[in-house]
Amino acid sequence: MDEIRALSHSTTNRKVLSLLRTGDLTRQRVLDVGAGEGYFCRLLGEHLKQAHGLAPSQVLRACDLFPESFRYPDVPCDPIDAIGTLPYPADSFDVVCSLEVVEHLEDQFRFIRELHRVVKPGGRVIVTTPNLLNINSRLRYLHSGFWLLFDPLPLSARDPVHTAGHIHPITFYYLAYLFCRAGFTRVCAHFDRRKKSGMLWTILLAPFVLMGHAAFRFHLRRKKPALSAENRALLRSANGWDMLTCRSVIVEGVK
């Protein structure tokens, strides 16, 4: 079989696979949304074959805007439309994954609601996106007005499906907020790999970041104590070591 390209970072794919392996994959149905050429499906499919003796299609299904580009023959890939409507009944899957897709979409609220709709009660949704809150991205935004991996776009182009680039940057907090609005009962963050430059910059800038975050939290508690209490866990995550140093953020929600 010809090489299948990873349209998202291979480390991110392996981290998501490790999260799926914490559950009993032999009893689950898994959906890969925005599957691209099928890199993640192949990773998971080969694991299912080798570790459990299962045909990948017994567990895994894929969907994409361009299913003709999907190249892993052991798994079916269904077409979806440009706004992310999924062609499945409600409560169809135990796990739904979407790797490096949400930053390409216009209506992110609708997309997360669709993921919530098709996952079963108690099931998990896992969404990855570039981590805009790592220190490298914060510094780039400070001096250029653009996050890492998000650059000026061609204003003259007419691309209604926005397949050509990152059009909708979203930080961990606001992605977690989308999960909460969609109805997930628990939301948490995972990370793929640390950047060496990120670790160095975080150590150098730690006093500024920590004092600034402490001042922000203090003013929020004083002015809006109920809001501060409700957001405590998410705000704590926003300036943790992993958030400041890691390349991608992986948001997991439980329905």
pLDDT at 162: 45
CB–CB of 253/102 below 8 Å?
A: no
CA–chain centroid gap for 130, Å, is 8
pLDDT at 6: 87
pLDDT at 8: 85
Q: Which has the closest alpha carbon to 115: 30, 23, 42, 22?
A: 30
pLDDT at 1: 45
The continuous run of DSSP H or E covering 30 comes out as: strand 30-33
CB–CB of 80/89 below 8 Å?
A: no
pLDDT at 48: 97
pLDDT at 171: 97
Pull the structure tokens for residue 31.
């959906």
Q: Does domain 10-134+144-194+246-254 sit in CATH 1.20.140.10?
A: no
Other CB atoms within 10 Å distance of the CB of residue 193: 15
CB–CB of 234/176 below 8 Å?
A: yes
Q: Which has the closest alpha carbon to 84: 109, 56, 51, 61?
A: 109
Q: What's the CA gap between 40 and 103, in Å, rounded? A: 18
Q: What's the CA gap between 4 and 13, in Å, rounded? A: 13
Sequence spans of domains, the chain: 10-134+144-194+246-254
Q: What is the CA radius of gyration of the chain?
A: 19
97: β partners? 32, 126
The arrangement of strands across the sheet holding 30-33 comes to: 77-79, 60-64, 30-33, 93-99, 119-130, 248-254, 186-191
**pTM of the full predicted structure?**
0.94
pLDDT at 83: 80
Q: Are strands 248-254 and 186-191 parallel, antiparallel or unpaired?
A: antiparallel
Q: What's the CA gap between 174 and 231, in Å, rounded? A: 12
CA–chain centroid gap for 200, Å, is 25
CB–CB of 32/8 below 8 Å?
A: no
**pLDDT tens string for the chain (255 positions)?**
468 988 888 999 999 999 999 999 999 999 999 999 999 999 999 999 999 999 999 999 999 999 999 999 999 999 998 888 999 999 999 999 999 999 999 899 999 999 999 999 999 999 999 999 999 999 999 999 999 999 888 777 666 444 457 889 999 999 999 999 999 999 999 999 999 999 999 999 999 999 999 999 999 999 999 999 999 999 998 889 999 999 999 999 999
SS3 of residue 138 by DSSP? helix
Q: Which has the closest alpha carbon to 129: 9, 2, 235?
A: 9
Q: What's the CA gap between 65 and 77, in Å, rounded? A: 10
pLDDT digits (tens, 9 = 90+) for 112-133: 999 999 999 999 999 999 999 9
SS3 of residue 126 by DSSP? strand
Sign of CA dihedral 158, 163, 166, 167: positive
Cα distance between the two ends of the chain: 37
